[in-house]
Amino acid sequence: AQSVTQLDSQVPVFEEAPVELRCNYSSSVSVYLFWYVQYPNQGLQLLLKYLSGSTLVKGINGFEAEFNKSQTSFHLRKPSVHISDTAEYFCAVSRAGNQFYFGTGTSLTVIP
Amino acid sequence: GAVVSQHPSWVICKSGTSVKIECRSLDFQATTMFWYRQFPKQSLMLMATSNEGSKATYEQGVEKDKFLINHASLTLSTLTVTSAHPEDSSFYICSAVPLGNEQFFGPGTRLTVL
């Protein structure tokens, strides 16, 4: 079975500072990895995904994530955050076409 | 990109009534759709997997007689919350899977039961 752990439930960071949101997963088979962002009262928006190939994945809004198989991690990073990045971020893992398993989410708050 | 819509976006109803939520894939066909619910400040919890032309598969602890799912076509799945009660108030999100390995999520439906 797959599971996803997001260790940080809340991450406050000053505007223009770098940020890393951590995600670890457990799975006995190859999986696909995703990061989603959710703004208040809205659905999920895909930030980026890792399916195969290069372990460094670039997404929208300047975010990127690196797949580390040995550490079973898929941490999300951004070198300089903006106020508009304040949102809830979810890491998810799935196998092809099957249901997603979501982490508990990380609330990112960007402080002016 | 693929677009998934949900209707309504927000519904308020009295306790005891039934509410139907629609999930549509607008520009692709989806043999599989998923229904999630999300409580405030929490993650998404998978409720059921909806397959076109067959019965839905419910996750453990989800009452199938209370949350009726119908996947009548390749572009439409519906979730009906029967005899809704205040504890059913939540944010319901669907997703659809075209061929491949990525889910596309709807914008969600906020259900408030008074």
Average of per-residue pLDDT across A92-111 = 85
- Whether residue B46 lies within 8 A of chain A, CB to CB, comes out as yes
pLDDT of residue A52: 85
Residue A47 has pLDDT above 90, yes or no: yes
Bridge-based pairing of strands B44-51 and B32-38 is: antiparallel
pLDDT computed for residue B52 by the predictor:
84
Token pair belonging to A9: 């439930």
Chain A CB contacts of B105 below 8 Å: 36, 43-46
Chain A residues close to B58, C-beta within 8 Å: none
Quick check: A102 and B34 CB within 8 A? no
CA distance B84 to B97: 28
pLDDT-derived band at A31, boundaries 50, 70, 90? confident
Residue-wise DSSP of B33-62:
EEEEEE-TTS-EEEEEEEETTS--EEPTT-
Distance, C-alpha A15 to centroid of its chain:
19
Q: Does B51 touch chain A (CB under 8 A)?
A: no
Question: B4 forms bridges with which residues in the sheet?
Answer: B25
Lowest mean pLDDT: which of A11-15, A54-58, A82-86, B71-75? B71-75
For position A5, what pLDDT does the model report? 92
Q: B63 CB contacts (<8 Å, ≥6 apart)? A: none
Contact B101 A32 (CB under 8 A): yes
Interchain pair A99, B106: CB under 8 A: no
Model confidence at A91, pLDDT cuts 50, 70, 90, reads: very high
pLDDT category at A97 given cuts 50, 70, 90 is low
Contact between chains at A36 and B105 (C-beta distance less than 8 A): yes
pLDDT bracket for residue B67 (50, 70, 90): very high
Question: Cβ atoms within 10 A of the Cβ of A16, count?
Answer: 12
Q: Which SS3 state, helix, strand or coil, does residue B37 take?
A: strand
